[in-house]
Structure 1
Amino acid sequence: MQIRNPITLNDWRIRSYFIAILVFQLGLLVIQLLGSTNSHILVLQAILGFAFFSFIPGIIVLRIMRVHYLSTIETLLYAVGLSIAILMFTGLLMSVLYPLVGISRPLSSGSILMTINVTTSILLLLSLVRDKEPVESGYIDTEMVLSRPALLLYLVPLLTIIGTYFVNQYHSNGILMLVIAFIAVIPILVGFDRVIPEALYPLAILSISVSLLLHTSLISLYLWGYDIHYETFLANLVMDNAFWDSTSPGNVNAMLSVVLMAPIYSYITGLDLTWVFKLVYPLTFALVPLGLYHVFRRQVEAKSAFLACFFFVSFIIFYAEMASLARQEIAELFLVLLIMLMVARNIPRTTNFTLFVVFGASLAISHYGTSYIYLLALIAVWLYMTLSSIAATRGDTMLNRSRTAVGERSSGGGSLSRKDDGRTITLAHVLFFTGFTLGWYMLVAGGTSFDTIVSIIDHIGNTIFVDLLNPEATEGLDLLISTPQSPLHTVAKGLHLITLALIVVGFIAICFRRTNTNFSREYVAFSFIALLFGVAGVLVPNFSSTLNTSRLYQIVLIFLAPLCVIGGISILAAPGTYISKLRSGWLTGRTPLVLISVLFSLLFLFSTGWIYECANDQPSSIALSQDSIKKYGGDTPKNVFYGTFIPEHDVFGARWLGEYMRDGSIVYADRTRKDNVLTSYGNLARNPPFLPKTDFKPVWGAYTYLGTYNVVERSASGPEEYYDHWSIEEIYPAIYRNNKVYSNGQSGIYRNE
């Protein structure tokens, strides 16, 4: 049996398309107007609000642009990307234009809901005018989507949600351990060509991505991580004032993916900011591997594309660090959309460029670091493609002249015409993205985003020869030569080094056409630039540390992940190897992919901390090993744990302080508590003073905040760096001399009066 594909709604006949969207919008509008405190209504509003505004506006724009007959993955990702762009730029226009007509609170709840609904309705009417031609909609085979393998893949995210509930409520990690183990089996099943058919590879990737992201983001009822707290502070500021101050300095304040997108989603879903960041952003980010599968599949066969995506999501950076870095989550989605446009051959050039403008601008307003990396790569690739094209043209001209000299005539009676090389990156692309990115960063938020990159370049330039190959100045090199904590950690590091070597081998293989792949010249050029970024992170002083080594690696893996698979195949199937000498047996043709899948599964079990938890070997996963860290962890693991995980008692204390402290009062806290929980839940700006290690003398009227790490573990972090930890015993007498104004057993607040 077949049903209409709801994802390719832009391909439906115009009447069905209009009715479906209108009913959806009116139903959501009724739910929003009810404003009920009924929990079921609120859940329904969250689901429908997220689904509608994350997808429908983009589908409408695709119809306006007359974009049809795309694959399901392309339609889904383009629609989501366009929808998010519409939300961010609508919020921007509201912030700029509404005050001009006397609306002092342009970003209030009512204003946002009315404007976005009106905007969607106008776009819907415009699509009816622009595209009335009959279109044949696609269909879904229900036997496939309801097959046993599909139902099994649907079950994985559900079990993940149940597993996080048991961790939060009962401190039991059994279900999550089983989920991680099952996810590790999936690539092996793919490698052996068992259970999961090729048609379900996209579903498997989406299931794995959602499960991995939720298995960390849903841990605790509160935010955890580092950057997410400051992002929440800025989003709260916009919601409290119903206005975005574009002149307020700060890199993050220039990122609309946080300061506008988060408040807008909070209003349309009815979720508070904590759950917007813990649910909406991870679920949106889960589309990134799905988009990468589409990109990889255009260039390699299905199994290799799947394994490359699994390799990408298997690192802790994807499901832990990114889950607490909202602006980069959105930026990576737009980066993948730009890559999809680069390999697209089914979209007219004009439409392709229009989408590039939208997604490129959205990338620039989402994350400065990702934008700068893409900008440098874009310029480098365009220069390479242009120069190579000129060289090829000159070569053709010289060949024609030589042929003419010996009496040969080229077809057409003249010089050979240059063939279209399939390039999708032109000077217009480079000029637009460069101009918009630099213009935005120089004009918004006091130009701090532009000043930051200038200072980074200047700092690197001043130290590149002085600190070359100095581990203290080169974070990537320090990670490579550092000594692991245990034999198991040594094995994990060895596996990571193997993947790095495979990436290099894979790049060499595609350059010399040693593999049966279809990589475009532009993709190969981007991969080379990404490889250079990775090398720079190891060799260039202060390069990876200023950009953050893990986040840099996350970005370059977007281009390099398939090269790891290609490298493995090239080595295992190379002439002279044992596998290449096999002549029979059902496993012969698939042996390289089977071995690669086993390697990736093993690497995944190490990265998630599953193996460390089983062996009780210095586990660090906040999802799997909370109790182990608290009971058996050393000073450093506990400092890292309490630096990312925020206990409930700390949240209560921070909220009390934010509500009852006297205006203008000074607050002392250690570095981690000050920058995290007091920023997000106390609404206090990130700034000194921090608790000193000795000689603590608080000023009159100042507050001193202590969290669980301070009270229970008798330790503190900072003041210079998060990883710096020390005993608080020496300054406890000075703290106790103040009046205790709040305590919940594990968090306390004192006031000097």
Structure 2
Amino acid sequence: MQIRNPITLNDWKIRNYFIAILWLQLGLLFIQLLESTDSRVLFLQAILGVAFFSFIPGIIVLRILRIHNASTPETLLYAVGLSIAILMFTGLFMSVIYPIFGISRPLSPDSTLMTINVTTAILLLFSLVRDKKPPESGFIDTETFLSRPAFLLYLVPLLTIIGTYFVNQYHNNGILMLIIAFIAVIPILIGLNRVIPEALYPLAILSISVSLLLHTSLISPYIWGYDIHYEAFLANLVIDNAFWDSTSPGNVNAMLSVVLLAPMYSYITGLDLTWVFKLVYPITFALVPLGLYHVFRRQVGEKSAFLASFFFASFIIFYAEMASLARQEIAELFLVLLIMIMVARNVPRRTNFALFVIFGASLAVSHYGTSYIYLLSLIVVWLYMTLSSFAATRGDTLFKCSRKTAGENPSGGGSVNRDDGRTITAAHVLFFTGFTLGWYMFVAGGTSFDTIVSIIDHIGNTIFVDLLNPEETEGLDLLISTPQSLLHTVAKGLHLITLALIVVGFVAIWFRRKNTRFSREYIAFSFIALLFGVAGVLVPNFSSTLNTSRLYQIVLIFLSPFCVVGGISMLAAPGAYINKLRSGRLAGRTPLVLMSVLFSLLFLFSTGWIYECANDQPSSIALSQNSIKKYGGDTPKNVFYGTFIPEHDVFGARWLGRYMENGSVVYADRTRKDNVLTSYGSLARTPPFLPETDFEPVLGAYVYLATYNIVERSASGPEEYYDYWSIEDVYPAICRNNKVYSNHQSEVYQNG
């Protein structure tokens, strides 16, 4: 049976399209106007709010741009990206324009809801005029998506949510352990071509991504991590003041993906800001592997694309570190969308550039690190493509491209004038460069621009002095460090194998690039990504200033398929595999199965599943809370309490933030000062920090102690989070002050 595809709403007949959106908007508006405290109404508002404003505005823009006949994943990703862009720039418009007309609180809930509803209505009316007769092709076959394998994939995120509930309420990780084990089996089933058909590969990768992100983000009813606490602090400032101060210095304050998007989602959904970060952002970020699957499928075929996407999502960086870094979650979505329009061959040039402007500007206002990496890559790739086209006209075979490959249109969307295989032009480079640098120079005191200038200057001054010095090169230090145990040594060996396979795969494709489905621009971007990875290992202060794990996360966006290519080309006859890349077929089943086993095994190590089973230095906050507390050493405990926030710490921080005297000095160790006191105490991340010895607080100052300080009798900092020390030397000096708050695991003292 066939039904209308709700995702490809932009392909529906004009009458059905208009009625569907109108009823959805009116229903959501009615719920928002109720302002009910009933949990069922709030739940309905959250679901409809996220679904509507994360999707419908983008669908309307797709109709305005007359983009039709795109695949379901492609339409979903475009619509979500466009919707988020509309929310951010609508908030920016309100912040700039409304004060001119005397509105002192432009970002109040009522003002925000009215503006975005009116904006959506105006876009809807414009789309009715712009595109009246699209093709009626928005249908799907329900047989596949209501099959047993599909229901199995639907159950994975649901069981993950149940599993996190059992961890939070009963400290029982059994369900999550079973879910992780089942997820590890999925790539092997696909490698064996069993159970899951190709039509369900997008659903499978989306189900896995959502489950992995929720299995960490839903642990604890509070946010956890490092950067996300400061992001929550800034978003709360906007909510409290109903105003965004764009002149306040700070890199993060220039990121609309945090300071505007998070408050707007809170108004739309009725959710507390904590749950916006723990639910809305991770679910949105789960679309990144789906977008990568869409990109990779055009390069290497369905099964290899699935394995490459699973490889990307299987690293702990994706579902742990990124789940606590909201601005980079949104930025990576826009980066993937930029890659999607780069490899698209069914979108006219003008429409392609319009999408580039929207997604490029959205990337720039989402995360400075990701934007700078993309900016440098964009400039280099454009120069390479320009020089190669010029050389090709002169017959230089080094740069000459295959006309057939460059001009093909695998999606069947018609001629789009890609004679030289290029989608990136001087206009793309000029726009993104101008917008990005302009934004970072003039917003939030220009600190984002000053930061990159200082980083470049610092690297330039130390590149020859500290070359290959592990103390100054974080990536190299990680490579040569000694693992904690035999199992951790095995895990490190598996990671090193994947790095080697990426290099092998890239070399294999590079020398046969004319005979593969890889676009020249994608190969060029991947080469720059590979150079970034090498620089992270060789160049002093490069990876540490950008953060090694986050840098690796970004380069994997481009390099993941090369790991699959490298592995299969090593296991199969290289020539046979490369020759079949163009058709998307595989060089036999055995290499794919072996690669799927490798990725599944690596996944079990990355999630901490194996360490939890073996009780060998477990580190997962989702699977190993009890194990870390009982058997973990000093370092694992410090890392655990540095990211995970116990409930008692939140209560203590909230009390302090509410009842402390304005302007008072607060002492706490570095980690507690930068996380729970920032997000839940609303205190700025500023010294003084708790000293190791000779503690003499100033008159009227407060001292905040958390679970890590009281139960483990330890503290961290002040220079680095991973520095920790015994609190016994200063504890008597702390206790000489007046204890003004205690819940047995969190205490507040006041001097005088």
TM-score by length of 2: 0.95
The Cα shift of 1:69 comes to 1.1
Distance 1:381 1:422, change over 3 A: same
8 Å contact kept, 1:149–1:196? yes
8 Å contact kept, 1:64–1:131? yes
Task: Give the RMSD, CA atoms, in angstroms.
Answer: 1.5
2:31 aligned partner: 31
8 Å contact kept, 1:9–1:137? no
The Cα shift of 1:677 comes to 0.1
Distance 1:576 1:6, change over 3 A: closer
How far apart are the structure 1 equivalents of 2:258 and 2:166? 30
1:18 aligned partner: 18
The Cα shift of 1:131 comes to 1.0
How far apart are the structure 2 equivalents of 1:301 and 1:123? 37
Verify: 1:453 aligned to 2:445, yes or no. Answer: no
The Cα shift of 1:76 comes to 0.5
The Cα shift of 1:249 comes to 0.1
Same amino acid, percent of matched pairs: 87
| Cα distance per residue 1:500-519 (max 9 Å; x no partner) | 00000000000111897410
Verify: 1:710 aligned to 2:709, yes or no. Answer: yes
Verify: 1:592 aligned to 2:581, yes or no. Answer: no
Give the 3-state SS of the residue equivalent to 1:740 in structure 2. strand
Give the 3-state SS of the residue equivalent to 2:744 in structure 1. coil
2:166 aligned partner: 166
Gaps of 5+ in 2: 398-416, 580-585
How far apart are the structure 2 equivalents of 1:419 and 1:339? 16
1:342 aligned partner: 342
How far apart are the structure 2 equivalents of 1:266 and 1:728? 39
How far apart are the structure 2 equivalents of 1:484 and 1:345? 46
The Cα shift of 1:419 comes to 8.7
The Cα shift of 1:589 comes to 1.6
8 Å contact kept, 1:255–1:365? yes
How far apart are the structure 1 equivalents of 2:702 and 2:533? 45
Give the 3-state SS of the residue equivalent to 1:630 in structure 2. helix
Aligned partner of 2:317: which letter?
I
How far apart are the structure 2 equivalents of 1:484 and 1:44? 48
1:533-572 mapped onto 2 (5 Å cutoff): 533-572=532-571
The Cα shift of 1:20 comes to 0.1
Verify: 1:670 aligned to 2:707, yes or no. Answer: no
8 Å contact kept, 1:514–1:570? no
Distance 1:697 1:75, change over 3 A: same
1:407 aligned partner: none
2:644 aligned partner: 645
How far apart are the structure 2 equivalents of 1:290 and 1:419? 25
Give the 3-state SS of the residue equivalent to 2:700 in structure 1. coil
The Cα shift of 1:576 comes to 11
| Cα distance per residue 1:479-502 (max 9 Å; x no partner) | 000000000000000000000000
The Cα shift of 1:574 comes to 3.0
Give the 3-state SS of the residue equivalent to 1:705 in structure 2. strand
8 Å contact kept, 1:13–1:137? no
Distance 1:295 1:649, change over 3 A: same
8 Å contact kept, 2:299–2:518? yes
1:356 aligned partner: 356
How far apart are the structure 2 equivalents of 1:269 and 1:419? 43
1:699 aligned partner: 698
8 Å contact kept, 2:677–2:683? yes
How far apart are the structure 2 equivalents of 1:175 and 1:191? 25
Verify: 1:82 aligned to 2:82, yes or no. Answer: yes
The Cα shift of 1:133 comes to 1.7
| Cα distance per residue 1:290-327 (max 9 Å; x no partner) | 00000000111110000000000000000000000000
1:497 aligned partner: 496
1:512 aligned partner: 511
The Cα shift of 1:119 comes to 0.5
The count of aligned residue pairs is 725
The Cα shift of 1:641 comes to 0.2
Give the 3-state SS of the residue equivalent to 2:518 in structure 1. coil
The Cα shift of 1:588 comes to 8.3
The Cα shift of 1:422 comes to 1.8
1:584 aligned partner: none
Distance 1:736 1:386, change over 3 A: same
Aligned partner of 2:422: which letter?
R
8 Å contact kept, 1:297–1:305? yes
2:409 aligned partner: none
How far apart are the structure 2 equivalents of 1:352 and 1:38? 45
Give the 3-state SS of the residue equivalent to 1:271 in structure 2. coil
Distance 1:631 1:396, change over 3 A: closer
How far apart are the structure 2 equivalents of 1:87 and 1:727? 47
2:660 aligned partner: 661
2:214 aligned partner: 214
Moved over 4 A (4+): none
1:179 aligned partner: 179
1:631-642 mapped onto 2 (5 Å cutoff): 631-642=630-641
Distance 1:396 1:498, change over 3 A: closer
Aligned partner of 1:174: which letter?
G
8 Å contact kept, 1:460–1:543? yes
Verify: 1:277 aligned to 2:277, yes or no. Answer: yes
8 Å contact kept, 2:331–2:367? yes
How far apart are the structure 1 equivalents of 2:588 and 2:231? 49
How far apart are the structure 2 equivalents of 1:554 and 1:396? 36
How far apart are the structure 2 equivalents of 1:575 and 1:257? 44
Give the 3-state SS of the residue equivalent to 1:742 in structure 2. strand
1:392 aligned partner: 392
8 Å contact kept, 2:50–2:269? yes
Give the 3-state SS of the residue equivalent to 2:420 in structure 1. coil
| Cα distance per residue 1:91-133 (max 9 Å; x no partner) | 0010000000000000000000000000000111111111112
How far apart are the structure 2 equivalents of 1:289 and 1:419? 27
The Cα shift of 1:138 comes to 2.0
The Cα shift of 1:420 comes to 1.7
Aligned partner of 1:11: which letter?
D
How far apart are the structure 2 equivalents of 1:634 and 1:419? 58
TM-score by length of 1: 0.95
Larger radius of gyration: 1
8 Å contact kept, 1:217–1:278? yes
1:298 aligned partner: 298
| Cα distance per residue 1:532-575 (max 9 Å; x no partner) | 00000000000000000000000000000000000001100136
2:3 aligned partner: 3
Distance 1:145 1:516, change over 3 A: farther
Gaps of 5+ in 1: 398-417, 581-586
Aligned partner of 2:423: which letter?
T
2:483 aligned partner: 484
Moved more, 132-141 or 166-175: 132-141
How far apart are the structure 1 equivalents of 2:66 and 2:214? 36
1:408 aligned partner: none
| Cα distance per residue 1:659-696 (max 9 Å; x no partner) | 00000000000000000000000000000000001000
1:574 aligned partner: 573
Give the 3-state SS of the residue equivalent to 1:395 in structure 2. coil
The Cα shift of 1:137 comes to 2.8
| Cα distance per residue 1:394-429 (max 9 Å; x no partner) | 2289xxxxxxxxxxxxxxxxxxxx992120000000
Verify: 1:201 aligned to 2:201, yes or no. Answer: yes
How far apart are the structure 1 equivalents of 2:479 and 2:589? 32
2:739 aligned partner: 740
